[in-house]
Amino acid sequence: ETGVTQSPTHLIKTRGQQVTLRCSSQSGHNTVSWYQQALGQGPQFIFQYYREEENGRGNFPPRFSGLQFPNYSSELNVNALELDDSALYLCASSTPGQGVYEQYFGPGTRLTVT
Amino acid sequence: AQSVTQLDSHVSVSEGTPVLLRCNYSSSYSPSLFWYVQHPNKGLQLLLKYTSAATLVKGINGFEAEFKKSETSFHLTKPSAHMSDAAEYFCVVSDGGQNFVFGPGTRLSVLP
């Protein structure tokens, strides 16, 4: 069973640029959630995708957008990068079912905006 | 709205002594609760979860947590700390849907 993978591992961008981060979900999981973890803080929920549709969104501006593909992999796009976007971006996959489901996290992408 | 408070930003223990990481939550629903661990430069790993079954939950690596509804707490414990336990620990509350709310984290240091 393959776990959650993310690419790239690290990324350096300039303020105002755009970035795309990628996530492959764990085998059998149809839901992907994205989180932003600033240095020294807990992860903050950005949004979730379920069967290629956005299924909930946290308190992030529209310049944070996403996609989910038929194979359940996902992209996070951030436009007009700001210095405060520098963070670890985590992807988590899960399969909603009866009862509670846990999320399985990838290793993250470290984004630095200069 | 849900929220999580982790009462200690940093806990330091000696190897072989007990660990206690404190978590209090607020939720309008009957919550599901999780503890995740994050080692440096690694992703988050699930330690244990509470899903309205037994109030004492056992997890991996000897960790356990007790759900106390009257105190709105879900503290994480381990009888004997190991050097490899040094990491950041996050308490998480969920309403069972997509909304996972993380606490700010507690950094555990284990001294030799």
The number of beta carbons lying within 10 Å of the beta carbon of residue B112 is 6
The answer on pLDDT for B94 being more than 50 is yes
Mutation site, A37, A47, A60, A100, interface B, largest B CB count within 10 A: A100
Decide: B23 and B73 in contact? Cβ < 8 Å.
Answer: yes
Read off the pLDDT of residues B16-56 as tens digits, 9 standing for 90 and up: 999 999 999 998 777 889 999 999 877 899 999 987 778 89
Residues 66-85 of A with CB under 8 A from B: none
Q: What is the pLDDT of residues A45-62, one digit of tens each?
A: 999 998 899 988 999 999
- The residue among A41, A12, A40, A35 whose CA lies nearest residue A23 is A35
Please give the pLDDT value at position A98.
Answer: 45
What are A112's two structure tokens? Answer: 């630095």
* Lowest model confidence (mean pLDDT) among B8-17, B29-38, B72-81: B29-38
CB contact under 8 A, A44 and B90: no
Torsion A5-B36-B49-A58 (CA) sign: negative
Beta strands in chain B (DSSP E): 3-6, 10-14, 19-21, 23-26, 32-38, 44-50, 56-58, 64-68, 73-78, 87-94, 100-102, 106-111
Chain A residue with the nearest C-alpha to that of B107: A40
**Neighboring chain B residues of A108 at a CB cutoff of 8 Å:** 43
Contact A31, A96 (CB under 8 A): yes
**Structure token pair of residue A20:** 């795309």
- Contact criterion met (CB < 8 Å) for B90 and A4: no
Distance from CA of B40 to the nearest CA of A (A): 10
